[in-house]
Structure 1
Amino acid sequence: MSIESVDGTRWARLAHIQPNWFTTVMGTGIVATAAATLPAHVTGLHTVATVVWILASVALLLVSSAFAAHWVLHRDNARGYLNHTVVSHFYGAPAMAALTVGAGTLLFGKDLIGLDAAVWIDAALWTIGTVIGVVAVGFVAVRLLTRADRGGEALPARMMSVVAPMVSASTGALLVPHIAGADMRTAFLMLCYAMFLLSFVFGTVTAFFVYRRMIRVGLPARAAVPTVWIPLGMIGQSITAAITLGTASRGEFTGSHASVATDLHTAGVAYGIFVGMLGVVAFIVSATVTARAAHSGLPFSLTWWSFTFPVGTCVTGATALGTATGVGEIHTTAVVLYVLLFTAWAVVAARTVGAVRSGVLPAAA
């Protein structure tokens, strides 16, 4: 059923609800989850973060409903976007949206609906998000191996399809203590490490081609410049996952196997330090590129949500690394980054709401 066969502008507007709309959920949800472990006590922050998590949860329901209607009412458009060399990579966004809201449910929802309900909801969203994320990575792999164009140009948006399993790894660490049975906990922890490795392999390869293209060919079109922040999401999220999984392993590998936990924790911290230094460089490059683009005019679009989630992962990564190393300056960096995150989210969210209400923001932006 195409757009022409659906009567009414209300339904016609759903013709272009692409998966990148889920970035609004990701960007909102990370503001809440990043606040949960922030190494600073700010009066009222927990309450504000809870409200933001609720907003993200509502947004997930609304966007999911609109996206489902898009597939039902506008199948031709939906299939076209699925096969699009750029838009298809944003199918990692629904996965990360579910994972982020799920983590927020466990962190904040337990105060409202009880711990048991929060765990079950988080487990359900983690499963859904992980399945979608793995399928998205597999889809990308098939495109790279079978299509003549190797899946299109190596634009930063390609990273959207490979980060999701890394989010599964880091958010899965929160669920480990709530799984009954030592064997089940260990198996789940190993599954989270498998997600880490899957995302790391595909993410590293993808990042190499993305940065190589930007060096050889130049930056993306001006409207897509904010997407240069997306690779930073892999950096921040992988640091978070490496350290939190290493910490979670301490509760699973004890006694004669305690050395395994020690090795995993040490490896996670070492990884965090090394990749964190790369993150500093990537952050400076992204900020410089964005500042130059903004100086000559940066049109608003949904790509502006790239200023939120990647920075949020840097907050969680810096918080985890600061805690693991005991270096106060890293914790200070996490706080500064969170201030930047919250500011960016407030601006982008306000611009998005205003643009949608006025009808000047195309769904395909």
Structure 2
Amino acid sequence: MTATITTAPPRLPQTGNFGPNWFASVMGTGIVATAAVSLPVHLPGLRPFAVAVWALAAVLLVAVTAATVLHWRRYPGTARGHHLDPVMAHFYGAPPMALMTVGAATLLAGREVIGGTAALAVDAVLWTAGTVGGLITAVAVPYLQFTRHDVDERAAFGGWLMPVVPPMVSASTGALLIPYLPAGQPRLTMLVACYAMFGLSLIASFAVIPQIWQRLAVHKVGPARMVPTLWIVLGPLGQSITAANLLGGAAAHVLPPPAADALRLLGVVFGVPVWGFALLWMALATAITVRAARERLPFTLTWWSFTFPVGTCVTGTSALATHTGSAMLAAAAVLLYAGLLAAWAVVATRTARLVTR
């Protein structure tokens, strides 16, 4: 399947075309578990709920991966068609993020079921696979966009962020693995690599987001089916806050107090302003979504954009609350998580109807 964009907004992938966009359901489910465990407050029943959602995310990962393999065997040209499609190609960032999301959820919530050693092993394998895959998409998809895909100034949409965000997920989830590595060079190497991936993803995201803003300002919102992709912008914002603070905390296992304290402070100094912009974008996206819903918002798999990006804002807000001791940020994390749960319940229900009909 190939497509050309010249004078129209991006044509979003259809739910009937099985592709990498299906891994967004794994991302959106897994983040519900990790965000629950990361909350700075302890609510009754939250931990068992996180374990149950982790199990569901793990099952989804296996099911979607198996379905992808079977689909590619039945239609060998599918993968080539997807990577040449100027819209679908960007969703190849979803599988690496799905792997790492389930890996982190396994370490944080699944360990209560399979044990700490097994959970660590699973997370290490999924993190490694997701990181390698994410670095490949961060290079390959922009390369195809620069050399093969035919796009115009109206084509910029939230999906352009999908291939460059996985290294940021590697940075935040890699921080969770640092305390388990041998002291010395292994931990230092991991810390440096995670900060490098943090910068890679952050700068690439900050190159894309202004293009999305410009398209909205000049060409307006466009068709209602485009609206859910606006929420993807929250992904790199929330994930960067999470990564900066988790890496700042992990630095205490690697560096002496002055340097470790500086990196911990950097997470807060960076995170709070970005958190403010994330709230601005969330308000804009909410207003535009409500407007589109009144005019009928058709269901597509891009509705999963209402989940994972919001989940990263929950984990980022929770990390800031932990490092600052702010009761306001703690309350905000709980409110954002409530919104995440509501969005996930709606999107999961609609997706289940799509699969079973």
Please classify the TM superposition score into its range, dividing by the shorter chain length.
over 0.9
Q: In 1, distance between residues paired with 2:226 and 2:16? A: 22
Q: Which runs of 4+ in 1 moved over 4 A?
A: none
| CA RMSD in angstroms, aligned pairs only | 1.6
Residue of structure 2 in register with 1:274 after alignment: 273
Residue of structure 1 in register with 2:10 after alignment: none
Question: Any residues of structure 2 matched to 1:1-365 within 5 Å, and which?
Answer: 16-147=17-148, 149=150, 153-254=155-256, 258-358=257-357
* CA distance 1:307–1:261, shift in 2 (3 Å): same
Residue of structure 2 in register with 1:363 after alignment: none
How many residues matched? Answer: 342
Q: In 1, distance between residues paired with 2:346 and 2:146? A: 40
Cα offset for 1:347? 1.1
Q: In 1, distance between residues paired with 2:144 and 2:82? A: 14
Cα offset for 1:110? 1.4
Q: In 2, distance between residues paired with 1:62 and 1:54? A: 12
The letter for the 1-side match of 2:175 is A
Q: In 1, distance between residues paired with 2:352 and 2:149? A: 40
Unaligned runs of 5+ in 2: 1-14
Q: TM-score with structure 2 length normalisation?
A: 0.92
Q: In 1, distance between residues paired with 2:149 and 2:49? A: 49
1:267-299 per-residue CA deviation (whole Å, 9 max, x = no partner) reads: 111100111111111110110110100011111
Residue of structure 1 in register with 2:5 after alignment: none
Q: In 2, distance between residues paired with 1:101 and 1:107? A: 10
Deviating more after overlay: 155-164 vs 22-31: 155-164
Cα offset for 1:54? 0.3
Cα offset for 1:182? 2.0
The letter for the 1-side match of 2:240 is S
Q: In 2, distance between residues paired with 1:356 and 1:77? A: 20
Cα offset for 1:15? 8.5
> Is 1:85–1:151's contact at 8 Å kept on the other side of the alignment?
no
Q: In 2, distance between residues paired with 1:181 and 1:266? A: 23
> Is 1:91–1:160's contact at 8 Å kept on the other side of the alignment?
yes
> Is 1:15–1:74's contact at 8 Å kept on the other side of the alignment?
no
Q: In 2, distance between residues paired with 1:167 and 1:347? A: 25
Deviating more after overlay: 17-26 vs 146-155: 146-155
The letter for the 1-side match of 2:308 is F
